[in-house]
Amino acid sequence: MIVALMGYMGSGKSTIGKELATVLNYKFLDLDSVISDAEKSSISDLFKKKGEIYFRKKEAFYLNEILKSENHVVLALGGGTPCYGNNLQLLLKQSKVSTFYLKLSLPLLSSRLFKEKNDRPLISHIDSEEALTEFIGKHLFERSQYYSQAKHIIDIDGKSQQDILEAILMYLI
């Protein structure tokens, strides 16, 4: 079984993913870190030096590799992973993959991301919280249709990490 976490930047995929892997005694993989390690570059530098399309191709390639070769893994996807190429179809068609959308509302995403936008290349240039809210709102409008196809949708507004973990585990155990 592979548990794949999807959701917008800052929704907590990496944070929750690590904890979930510990509880399940699974390996934890973060797709962004897999790409970063393989390319020997931070994601921000990769965007700067090689461009977003290069990153999207690598993202699709490493997702394929992981789905082909791994098992008993919690996989935190990148924020955009399900929205490009046939990544979503690939995730949904495999019975060994259980997909979860960590769904956080626009105001909470915006206030959370404004504090840590600097290492996120798509938003690092945005300099007011109002402009960030506008950007994320538009982005979510485009992306929600992909995220919402996850097998399980977990509404995480106001939930602690423990609450979210329990909500996911309910579907897995």
Ligand X SMILES: Nc1ncnc2c1ncn2[C@@H]1O[C@H](COP(=O)(O)OP(=O)(O)OP(=O)(O)O)[C@@H](O)[C@H]1O
Ligand Y SMILES: O=C(O)C1=C[C@@H](O)[C@@H](O)[C@H](O)C1
- Which residues of the shown chain bind ligand X in the complex (CB under 6 A)? 7, 9-15, 32, 76, 78-79, 112, 116, 120, 159-161, 164
78 annotated binding-site participant:
no
What's the distance, CA 85 to chain centroid?
16
56 annotated binding-site participant:
yes
The yes or no reply on residue 44 touching Mg ion (CB under 5 A) is no
Minimum gap (Å) between residue 98 Cβ and ligand X: 17
The yes or no reply on residue 15 touching Mg ion (CB under 5 A) is no
DSSP 3-state helix, strand, coil percentages of the chain (rounded to 5)? 55, 15, 30
Q: Hunting for tokens 């590799």 — which residue is that?
A: 65
112 binds, among Mg ion, ligand X, ligand Y, none (CB under 5 to 8 A by kind): ligand X
CA of 139: how far to CAs of 8, 38, 58, 88, 164, in Å?
9, 28, 21, 17, 24
Cα angle 55, 28, 77; round to 5: 35
Which of residues 14, 64, 94, 149 is near Mg ion by CB under 5 A?
14
158 annotated binding-site participant:
no
Q: Which residues bind Mg ion (CB under 5 A)?
A: 14
